[in-house]
Chains A and B, each alone.
Chain A
């Protein structure tokens, strides 16, 4: 049990996908303008991460390792994630429109999100069991969502301020991200 907690906290906070591993940065700046968008995006990334972790674990252990072709995992994982997202989207679209609207456009957009590919590759390289993979994916998704929500909260407040013209928009967001990253490095000594 303590191992699960360690994995979860490690991926959610200490080795946070955005601020420490620098994965999924384009969506971090693209979607962190509004709190509601950030929530949708965080939810969608968490869901896709968990589904992708399960399926890629199965493929890794039933196909890639027995045939000795682990070096092909990047290309196969990309293929699997892309089609998985399509399947999930198709299913949600036809069965639950409320949920589909909550995810919005972000579900198809994260087909090529590197944070999702990152979690599957981390799971493969760390030799996690299937349960550990799921916990790691949950941790990664939650960590991603937390940072996105914090950032969007700050950026909503930044809209009210009057920075110099050259700093408006992205530049000031970059500085905010830097301070946020420094703050998250404080978690480094936790485990």
Chain B
């Protein structure tokens, strides 16, 4: 009996010692691996993927490659723990600017879609969404009944009477995300607080392909805004076929807004940082 235990223990010990030897012997040939490993040691190590990178090590790699990306450190587990944050700041030798960690909610709908039938059921967005995804022509539109108004603890949301679309007051919005959970159309998104250009269309291009005629102010995925941008602030998300904006590079030249024939893009915050259209739902119809 005893030798069975001995075999198992022996194999386990041998493997442990081999790992130890490999750890000591194998040279670190890859450039900058020490720094990456140092950063990775601060990471929580649970590979949750919430930061958008495949695992903590990949995130450490991205941080090491681009020192500036420390500013958009998205790992909530690091940010919440003061010791880890301190360690990360020591590695980089700079204090973290956490200001753009803050998020604000945006209603991604211009309210241009026509009402195609009168809904007279239970007056909630959830009820209306049960019937052919709402009474508007576009199945991705804001229904404007106001489930989000009721759920907002700050009272930051109201329904614009002109467009019939929810509007969010950024002075009051804390970016808690409760309205995102409540909205059946998934038309509300959280964006960084420093967002300058708003993208006001929730139209999902990969479904219902023949849908362009459904709204005159819907994104037709023409890439004109991406091509017009000279500051390199717009990247084209091929998978979703929508533009993505980098507020730090944006110079507010407004070329993308001029280029957009569908008027999907709006200025959200101007050069002085003053809010122009906080809610992103603008009373301006093409019809």
Contacts and interface: CB of A to CB of B under 8 A. Distances in A.
B28 A94 contact: yes
Interface in A47-85: 59, 63-64, 67, 69, 72, 75-76, 79-80, 83
B18 A83 contact: yes
Given A96-B30, A105-B58, A87 B22 contact: yes
A160 interface: yes
B241 to A, nearest CB: 12
Interface in B1-54: 3-4, 7-8, 11-12, 15-16, 18-19, 22-23, 26-30, 33, 47, 54
A104 interface: yes
Contacts of B116: none
B7 A94 contact: no
A69 B7 contact: yes
A101 B19 CA distance: 21
Given A86-B19, A104-B54, A67 B47 contact: no
Contacts of A112: none
A80 B58 CA distance: 26
Interface in A100-144: 101, 104-105, 108
B22 A160 contact: no
Of listed B12, B18, B30, B61, residue having the most chain A CB within 10 A:
B30
A87 B22 CA distance: 7
Contact of A104 (B11, B19, B58): B58
Contacts of A104: 54-55, 58
Contact of A72 (B7, B18, B29, B61): B7
Contacts of B57: 93, 105
A90 B22 CA distance: 8
B8 A67 contact: no
B58 A79 contact: no
Interface in A149-188: 159-160, 162
Contacts of A80: 11, 15
B222 to A, nearest CB: 19
A95 B29 contact: yes
Given A79-B12, A94-B30, A160 B3 contact: no
Contacts of A95: 26-27, 29-30
Interface residues of A, number: 27
Contacts of B26: 90-91, 94-95
Nearest to B10: A63
A97 interface: yes
A97 B30 contact: yes
Contacts of A83: 15-16, 18-19
A93 B61 CA distance: 11
B80 interface: no
A54 to B, nearest CB: 15
A72 B208 CA distance: 56
Contacts of A64: 7
Contacts of A63: 7, 11
Nearest to B18: A87
Contacts of A108: 47, 55
Of listed B11, B16, B47, residue having the most chain A CB within 10 A:
B11
A93 B23 CA distance: 11
B11 A59 contact: yes
A93 B33 contact: yes
Contact of A90 (B16, B19, B29, B208): B19
Contacts of B12: 79
A70 to B, nearest CB: 12
Nearest to A75: B8
B8 A87 contact: no
Nearest to B29: A95
B80 to A, nearest CB: 23
Contacts of B16: 83
Given A63-B11, A93-B57, A105-B54, 18 more contacts: A64-B7, A69-B4, A72-B4, A79-B8, A79-B11, A83-B18, A87-B22, A90-B19, A90-B26, A91-B22, A93-B30, A94-B28, A95-B26, A95-B29, A97-B30, A101-B61, A105-B47, A162-B207
Interface of A: 59, 63-64, 67, 69, 72, 75-76, 79-80, 83, 86-87, 90-91, 93-97, 101, 104-105, 108, 159-160, 162
9 smallest beta-carbon distances between A and B, as pairs:
A105-B55, A83-B15, A105-B54, A97-B30, A94-B28, A95-B29, A162-B207, A94-B26, A87-B22
